[in-house]
Each structure stands twice: as C-alpha cells, then as structure tokens.
Amino acid sequence: MLRGFTTITYFAEDLEAAKAWYTELLGVEPYFEVPGGYAEFRVGDYLHELGIVQGGWAPHDMSAAPGGAVMYWHVDDLDASVERLRALGAEEYEPKTQRGEGYVTASFVDPFGNVLGVMENRHYRDVLASVGKGA
C-alpha cells in the first residue's frame, strides 16, 4: 500500500522567511513555487519533496505547541547537523538520543513552529549501498 515517501509539508505564517531559512539550511533554492502559498524543495539522495506551505492554509492551529509525527531526515554527521540547526536558530525539541546500534536521533523546532528530525541510520546507508549510490 505505501510505496514510498513523496512529500512532507511544513507550515509557516511568514512563507518568505521560511523559504529563506530552508534555502540556507539545505543549500538549494525551491524548484517549484505557488506565489504567496507554497514552495517546494528537492532534498537528499532520492530527491524527496519538502514543501513549505503558507500558514493560512494549515489544517491546524498554528499557535498550538509543536506536535504530531516527527519526520527524520538521514544525515551523515549528526553532531554537525545539530550544530548547524542551532546556528540557524532552531530550538532543540528532543536531544540527541541513541535508539539502538547504528540509530541516533535528534529533533528541533524550526523558527516557524515545525518539528524537524535528523537521524544517523545504518539502514539508510545499507539501502544506498544496495542501489549503487554508495554508503
């Protein structure tokens, strides 16, 4: 039934500030935009989609505390990623946590109230190696 990750969306009251923040974090510009409402980035080895949506379009109360599911993005160096997120003004949501051998996570709240998870994940590296993209 579930064939693969397609798009994750984060919401921001200030779409232009969010676009600038994520452009800085990711090192790439959005590849698709709906003026005044949506910006989408291609991210990572499989070019997954990260969409930033104008807060007025959110199906939930933007002033509520962060919550819901945490999407973890694989990173090659968790410590460097944690420091980069802090340097860009993200606030720690969950500290660096060992989840098992080869699995370490952390999560942050971006300046727009979204939870952003980062993870070193040995299975991710195994999948990359199995499809010839290296580890």
| CATH number of the domain that residue 102 is part of | 3.10.180.10
3-state secondary structure the chain: CCCCCCEEEEEECCHHHHHHHHHHHHCCCCCEEECCCEEEEEECCCCEEEEEEEHHHCCCCCCCCCCCCCCEEECCCHHHHHHHHHHCCCEEEEEEEEEECCEEEEEEECCCCCEEEEEEEHHHHHHHHHCCCCC
- Verify that 86 and 39 share a domain, yes or no: no
* Domain ranges, residue 37: 7-55
| Residue ranges in the chain whose pLDDT is less than 50 | none
- Verify that 50 and 75 share a domain, yes or no: no
- Verify that 75 and 108 share a domain, yes or no: yes
**Within-domain flag for 60:** no
Total domain count for the chain?
A: 2
**Within-domain flag for 62:** no
Instruction: Quote the tokens at residue 112.
Output: 């727009």
Rounded CA-CA distance 130/52 in Å is 31
Q: Give the pLDDT confidence score for residue 135 in this predicted structure.
A: 60
- Verify that 80 and 45 share a domain, yes or no: no
- Verify that 12 and 38 share a domain, yes or no: yes
Q: Give the pLDDT confidence score for residue 1 in this predicted structure.
A: 72
Rounded CA-CA distance 92/74 in Å is 17
Q: Give the pLDDT confidence score for residue 26 in this predicted structure.
A: 96
Residue 122: CB atoms within 10 A of its CB come to: 14
- Verify that 49 and 78 share a domain, yes or no: no
- Verify that 83 and 109 share a domain, yes or no: yes
- Verify that 129 and 92 share a domain, yes or no: yes
Q: Give the pLDDT confidence score for residue 90 in this predicted structure.
A: 97
Q: Give the pLDDT confidence score for residue 18 in this predicted structure.
A: 96
